[in-house]
Amino acid sequence: MALHFSSACNFGLSQKKVDKIKAVASDGFVKVKSDEDNLVKLGGSDLKLTKLGIGAWSWGDTSYWNNFEWDDRKMKACKNAFDASIDSGITWFDTAEVYGSRFSFGAINSETLLGRFIKERKKKYPEEEIAVATKFAALPWRLGRQSVISALKDSLSRLELDSVELYQLHWPGIWGNEGYIDGLADAVEQGLVKAVGVSNYSEKRLRQAYKQLKARGIPLASNQVNYSLIYRIPEENGVKATCDELGISLIAYSPIAQGILTGKYTPQNIPTGPRGNIYTADFLTELQPLINRIKEIGQSYDKTPTQVALNWLIAQGNVIPIPGAKNEEQAKEFGGALGWSLTSDEVNELRDLASKSKPVMGFPVEKL
């Protein structure tokens, strides 16, 4: 997910997929274990993850999410979202060292929360496999490959883990990017990570990183970028095509446009906090024909607008959405995006409708 300096992404069961899921009764509920059909290989790495992940950008944050507040109730809601995700079969979570950190004026680091949730979960279900992806902040004073290893070890300490599945550069640095890429390769060779990726990388930077890692015999597994039905810049700037060409998975953060594609918001009910300055009443008025059509298509499949929006992304191929879950209900809903497919006509119709509105935000470095 993105980092906003000014103020700073589940897998449930579609009825069509039930026969492909192994369920185990335990403590009064059904735990769902993902099988090979519900996993996707991450780029050229050996790592396999569920086709949807969960973004933990909002966990502990008080600068962009959560109405600038954090309390035990919100922490419990995040814990419930974490458990519901795993119970529904989504077993990987994306975080970052800056999410919820003091650097981004947060209340508690997202990594700390995720590590705590995993530890508590493992006490009850030690056999469960939970995958973690986190990110390195390319801050100007961080120089050289060792800065990547040092930051990773700090992240591992907060997570209370010996290694993570995926380590990513959160954004390209002002300088020192070759050193950062070498640091990623070093992390793989030292057994601290299983796969490495980047985030907010342009086509040019993506090719450079791919080439440098390839020289070390290590695949660039992923590029995490802002991508949704109403923000399709990765299709326009060559990033999506380059990911497809080089075998790099595209991880889509803000895949439901920070809640805008859920149908929850209207010109009379805009989002609270900083999002209200981005997704204005005028923008939502312009977006209503698209939202209405998403709802109509969803009704024909017995799906929610959120599930339609996520399914649209999955239909693009080589895309892994990571919607953010702040509570149990959201976590359970996301999985309904799987196990069915929009028709090509519906995919194209939604694209055409979405093209009538301009994208409203991106990440500052994605054009570099």
Catalytic residues: 99
Residue type, 109: N
Distances (CA, A) of 169 to 67, 183, 184: 28, 10, 8
SS3 70: coil
- Return the closest-CA partner of residue 225 out of 47, 55, 17, 27: 55
Tell me if 51 sits within 8 A of 40, measured CB to CB. Answer: yes
The single residue listed with the structure tokens 């995006």 is 337
Tell me the C-alpha distance between 185 and 190, whole Å.
9
Element containing residue 155 per DSSP (H, E): helix 145-159
Sequence-separated (6 or more) residues with CB below 8 Å from residue 322? 1, 9, 52, 53, 54, 55, 94, 224, 251, 252, 253, 255
Is 33 exposed, middle or buried (CB count within 10 Å of its CB: 0-12, 13-18, 19+)? middle
Closest CA to 14 of 315, 321, 335: 335
* Residue environment code for 250-271, b if the CB has 16+ CB neighbours within 10 A, otherwise e: bbbbbbbbbbbbbbebeeeebb
Q: Which residues pair with 40 in a beta bridge?
A: 49
Single out the residue of 278, 284, 280 nearest to residue 262, CA to CA: 284
| Phi, psi angles (nearest 5°) of residue 173 | -80, 165
Q: What is the amino acid identity at position 28?
A: G
3-class DSSP state of 226: strand
| Beta-ladder partners of 92 | 131
Distance CA 68, CA 70 (A): 7
